[in-house]
Amino acid sequence: MKEDLTEGTVKLLEEWIEDAYQAASEILDAGKVKPGQLFVVGCSTSEICGGRIGSASNPEVALAVFDGIWQAALERKVWLAAQCCEHLNRALILEQEAAERYGYEVVNVVPQPKAGGSFATVAYREFFHAVAVEHIRAHVGMDIGDTLIGMHLRDVAVPVRIGIKKIGEAHVVCARTRAKFVGGERAIYDQEKL
């Protein structure tokens, strides 16, 4: 398929691969993720291409962005979860092994570009043993194009500013999570968990 694309398009896709890799690397490092933790990503290819979310799903753009993000996740041995669009109630695509490890119930759906979104569709195709689940509690997350990933983060999310502000025309917003504070004013907290 790459041979059918213009030189300018190929260059743009390569730029987005690098931007996605850099953004994912930054949030994974800032979130101090450990091997086996969960990284949720929501991605609107329509927004990346300058359109309105849900208006122009683009599998080629999704593959480019997925490749960059997945590379960063694999390097750090974290589980990537791809959020589907609202037509699938923001279900998530992740590896079966991750779903089993975290005790998530598998649901039966195969995402498509117009019903799940191109990013989730690519994840379903590229993962080793992809499954869909309805909810997760991720340790870190990245939202590309205002897809609203917050429902899939652990309870206390902390915004993280990274160097990559946009991929294409889509806003990039990131968060890490932390343990809840309990105990009141006399409590002492572990600085490693902040």
Residues belonging to the chain: 194
- What range defines the domain where residue 10 resides? 6-179
What are the φ/ψ torsions at residue 161 (nearest 5 degrees)? -90, 125
pTM above 0.75, yes or no: yes
State in Å, rounded, how far the first CA of the chain is from the last one. 45
Does a structural domain hold residue 19? yes
**Which pLDDT belongs to residue 23?**
98
Does a structural domain hold residue 143? yes
CATH of the domain at 14: 3.40.50.10360
CA 16/CA 167 separation, integer angstroms? 6
Phi-psi region of 89 (alpha: psi -120 to 50; beta: other; left: phi over 0): left
Does a structural domain hold residue 190? no
Does a structural domain hold residue 60? yes
CB 45 within 8 A of CB 58: yes
Does a structural domain hold residue 174? yes
Torsion sign, CA atoms 112, 115, 116, 117 = positive
CB 136 within 8 A of CB 94: yes
**Which pLDDT belongs to residue 4?**
57
**Which pLDDT belongs to residue 1?**
44
Does a structural domain hold residue 147? yes
Over the chain (194 residues), the average pLDDT of each successive run of 10 is 63 94 98 97 95 85 97 98 93 98 97 93 98 98 96 96 96 96 83 81
What are the φ/ψ torsions at residue 175 (nearest 5 degrees)? -150, 150
CB 49 within 8 A of CB 166: no
CA 158/CA 181 separation, integer angstroms? 13
66: CB partners within 8 A, 6+ apart: 20, 43, 82, 119, 122, 123, 126
**Which pLDDT belongs to residue 10?**
84
Number of domains in the chain: 1
Does a structural domain hold residue 189? no
Nearest Cα to Cα of residue 70 among 12, 120, 133 = 120
Does a structural domain hold residue 40? yes
Q: Is 158 helix (H, G, I), strand (E, B) or coil?
A: strand
Which residues sit opposite 115 in a β-bridge? 112
